[in-house]
Amino acid sequence: MHLWGRVMSVRRLRVVLGIWILNTSGDNN
């Protein structure tokens, strides 16, 4: 349970970071 929760949190964090990077790069245009 705990390990699965950690994996899900890491995956969610990675997705959020990816979207944030895409948004910042797009705004720079």
DSSP string, the chain: -HHHHHHHHHHHHHHHHHHHHHHHHHHH-
pLDDT at site 25: 84
Is pTM, for the whole model, over 0.85? Answer: no
pLDDT at site 26: 76
pLDDT at site 8: 93
Per-residue pLDDT of 1-29, as tens digits, reads 689 899 999 999 999 999 999 998 877 65
Amino acid sitting at position 8: M
pLDDT at site 2: 85
